[in-house]
Structure 1
Amino acid sequence: MEKRIAICPGSFDPITKGHLDIIRRASSLFDEVIVLILVNYSKSNTAFTPAERVELARRVTKDMPNVRVDFFGGLLADYASHVGACTLIKGLRAVSDFEYEFQMALTNKKLCPTLETMFMTTDIKYMYLSSSIVREVATMGGDISEFVCPEIIDDIRRRLGPKTEESK
């Protein structure tokens, strides 16, 4: 039987507990889940480099044996074909997410006809959560411990936290 590979794509800038909820649930459905850090060309200013985002994602998924993290700068459909993935996993927080994600699913299907997209709704406790909220709260010196895993809090605070006179 062929190995069933799914991809959870995103910019993950940074990876949140909402992302991890989707990744963990997907890992129970597939033989392998690839957390794929992508370049989002519509988001020109990222807080973390692709290599840093890969490292943060690897740290918080280290206890999930069938999950691995990778980076790709090209078309998602090309990467999926290359690794033999059968499914893209897309997390939805609200109905407003669906229109864009549905359009992307149709585009990926056109580019790679064997590729399916599965939409998973996030757990209700993470419906409000996004990487941009984490970045904003961290920049203002707020508590992000409810939003991200403890393994990466210090990295986020160092990068985004309020600047003191000593750190300027």
Structure 2
Amino acid sequence: MPDRELRHMRRTELVEIILALKQSEDQLRAENAALSAQLQERQIHIENAGSIAQAALELNKVFEAAQAAADEYVASVRAANKNTNAAASALRAQAEAEAQQILAQAQTEAANLKARTQQQCDAEVDAAARKRAQTEADCKAMLARTQQEIQQRWAAFDHRASELLDGYHSTEFLPEERAK
């Protein structure tokens, strides 16, 4: 506004203009403060962005260390697993060898037991055969003695019967029989 116009204005209008200007100045100051705050915040963000990048680098180092530790752990577990597998294989081989030895020993003992049992059976069969032969011989001898004894008894019986018959025939002439 030109100065001439301002001179022709009334006081109330001028006061209104002054108030409007003051209000406009207050608004501008508030805007200035807000913009300054935003500027300050952006500077903090920019500074933090550097700090964040640095923090990210540090986190990467932490992650790299964690990854290295995890890799080392996996390697030690694999090595332990290989050692365990080797130990298990050795134990399995030892157990199989012991099992073969026990089996061979059991088979040897079984063969020995079978041979002893066969010898005992053969000895008992031989003893039974000898006893049978002896019993048969004893039976034949007893039969022979019995037959001889029977013949002797028969002969004795026959001799006695003959004597009795002879005595009976000689008794025919007994007086008792004549009287009849």
TM-score band, normalised by shorter chain: under 0.3
| TM-score scaled by length of structure 2 | 0.13
Greater fraction helix: 2
| TM-score scaled by length of structure 1 | 0.13
Greater fraction strand: 1
Rg (Cα) greater in structure: 2
